[in-house]
């Protein structure tokens, strides 16, 4: 009776995941303390989704929704069921296979430079200068340029995940490192380019933005945590 009724787990992804952004480079370690053994890798990020199911499952039994989840067996079952739900999209993955540091999350922030926005509309991942960026999903390249202004060298790839169009924008890549061209079909994990610091960047990192057809940016960390796997 472990019915995971809904995948709308957004409300439970705490802002702390994002605000732990400052300089203190947090790893992709997630805010849920009970998943410590999983926090050291990207796999951990996937597991957070599972952990997130826990409150919902428990809530059905009348617990306060805050029941800090010491994930019991039900979570495991939910885990097994999880892949079926987002099947429509499938194949979503993080841009790096290894755990990376998040240096700045999505949302309000104090501007890191004069002229920088006080609202960060992407996710900054410090995988290291020259690290290979992989497409987060199958899709079609809609932008690929070395001359993207503040974005520097960047690529946009449009995908359909769960029946919804999602565009991923990969910014600040090294000049000349882009591995894809406009119109090209790519698969999840396919090489997109190398982490760099082109455009308005204070150092080498991947600035990743996600948006639907309305162009409104949303939190890549939450979305990837929900869909990657």
> Minimal distance in Å, beta carbon 122 to Zn ion?
4
Q: Contact between 124 and Zn ion (CB under 5 A)? A: yes
Residues 6+ apart with CB under 8 A from 100: 27, 28, 125, 126, 127, 128, 131
Q: Residue 38 or residue 205: which is nearer to Zn ion going by CB?
A: 205
- Cβ atoms of 207 and 172 within 8 Å: the answer is yes
What's the DSSP call for residue 26?
Answer: B
Contact mark string toward Zn ion, 33..62, x via CB under 5 A: ------------------------------
Q: Contact between 112 and Zn ion (CB under 5 A)? A: no
**Cα(162)–Cα(157) distance, integer angstroms:** 16
Q: Residue 47 or residue 222: which is nearer to Zn ion going by CB?
A: 222
- Cβ atoms of 105 and 18 within 8 Å: the answer is yes
Q: Contact between 207 and Zn ion (CB under 5 A)? A: yes
How many residues of this chain bind Zn ion (CB under 5 A)? 3
- Cβ atoms of 32 and 44 within 8 Å: the answer is no
> Minimal distance in Å, beta carbon 103 to Zn ion?
8
Which residue in the shown chain puts its C-beta closest to Zn ion? 207
> Minimal distance in Å, beta carbon 120 to Zn ion?
6
Closest CA to 122 of 193, 165, 170: 170
Closest CA to 6 of 93, 80, 92, 82: 82
What's the DSSP call for residue 45?
Answer: H
Q: Are strands 206-211 and 123-126 parallel, antiparallel or unpaired?
A: antiparallel
Tokens of 72: 């019991």
Q: Residue 124 or residue 226: which is nearer to Zn ion going by CB?
A: 124
Q: Contact between 122 and Zn ion (CB under 5 A)? A: yes
> Minimal distance in Å, beta carbon 110 to Zn ion?
14
Given the rule CB under 5 A, which of 4-12, 80-88, 117-125, 176-184 is the region that contacts Zn ion? 117-125
Please report, as ranges, the residues that interact with Zn ion according to CB under 5 A: 122, 124, 207
């Amino acid at each position: 009776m472990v019915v995971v009724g809904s995948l709308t787990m957004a409300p439970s992804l705490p802002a702390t995941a994002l605000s732990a952004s400052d300089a203190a480079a947090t790893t992709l370690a997630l805010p849920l303390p009970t998943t410590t053994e999983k926090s050291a890798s990207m796999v951990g990020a996937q597991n957070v989704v599972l952990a997130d199911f826990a409150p919902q499952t428990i809530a059905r039994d009348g617990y306060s929704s805050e029941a800090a989840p010491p994930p019991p067996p039900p979570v495991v079952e939910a885990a097994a069921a999880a892949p079926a739900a987002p099947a429509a999209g499938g194949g979503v993955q993080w841009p790096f296979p290894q755990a990376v540091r998040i240096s700045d999350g999505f949302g309000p922030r104090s501007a890191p430079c004069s002229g920088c926005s006080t609202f960060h509309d992407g996710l900054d991942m410090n995988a290291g200068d020259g690290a290979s960026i992989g497409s987060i999903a199958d899709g079609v390249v809609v932008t690929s340029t070395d001359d993207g202004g503040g974005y520097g060298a960047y690529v946009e790839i449009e995908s359909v995940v769960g029946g919804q169009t999602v565009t991923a924008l990969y910014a600040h890549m090294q000049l000349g490192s882009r591995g894809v061209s406009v119109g090209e079909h790519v698969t999840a994990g396919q090489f997109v380019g190398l982490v760099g610091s082109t455009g308005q960047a204070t150092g080498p990192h991947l600035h990743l933005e996600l948006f639907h057809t309305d162009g409104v940016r949303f939190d890549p960390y939450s979305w990837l945590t929900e869909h990657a796997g």
